[in-house]
Amino acid sequence: MTEYIYVLSTFDWSTFWSAVSAIFTAITSIAIIFAIMQIRFDAWLRAQEIFVEDNFRNARATVFSLINKPMKEWSSDEKKAAMKVCQKMDELVHLSPYLSKRRILENWDDPLGKSWLALEPFVKKEREDCNWPDKWKEFEKYGSKALQKLIKLGRDPRILKKN
């Protein structure tokens, strides 16, 4: 019994509240980690939604057919497809704070690189026409890196394959 009384006599409310504070700090930290994981997962789902959207898939196929075709020969439908792909690719790369640059370039290097190859002249003209020099800047940054990666890996989309 004397040990129990000794323990109670050494009890200090400041120690108790420090312990409670430490426990709640740990719980809050865990909640923050889960929130970050949820945000990253939501960004991943949004990126997947971008790529499976029918209009975007069709526009991307149209844009890929424009590789090595001079822009002055593009039809109005091809220009509309180019606009759609630029917008969606820019939307994708703006998810990089949540997905990381490495993950974006690992998963979407091929469509980003090919799109940039086909659309670089279109982007430059669009920037001039609307006097907005930074329009689709993130798409340019990631697209050119993806294109460099494809070339380095021996998958240069500029080379036409003969069947």
Could you give phi then psi for residue 155, rounded to 5 degrees? -115, 45
Q: Tell me, what's the pLDDT at 4? A: 57
pTM above 0.85, yes or no: no
Q: What would the two tokens of residue 98 be?
A: 């949540």
Rounded distance between C-alpha atoms, residue 84 and residue 41, angstroms:
25
Q: Tell me, what's the pLDDT at 163? A: 44
Rounded distance between C-alpha atoms, residue 87 and residue 49, angstroms:
14
Q: pLDDT of the chain along its 163 residues, tens only? A: 556 555 556 667 787 888 889 999 999 999 999 999 999 999 999 999 998 999 999 999 999 999 989 989 999 999 999 999 999 999 999 999 999 899 999 999 999 999 999 999 999 999 999 999 999 999 999 999 999 999 999 998 888 655 4
Rounded distance between C-alpha atoms, residue 65 and residue 21, angstroms:
61
Q: Which amino acid is at 43?
A: A
Question: Does residue 72 contact residue 104 with C-beta atoms inside 8 Å?
Answer: no
Q: Tell me, what's the pLDDT at 2? A: 57
* Angle ∠(94,129,112) on CA atoms, nearest 5: 30
Domain ranges across the chain: 41-152
- Selection from 115, 101, 96 nearest residue 57 by Cα: 115
Q: Tell me, what's the pLDDT at 159? A: 80
Rounded distance between C-alpha atoms, residue 7 and residue 111, angstroms:
68
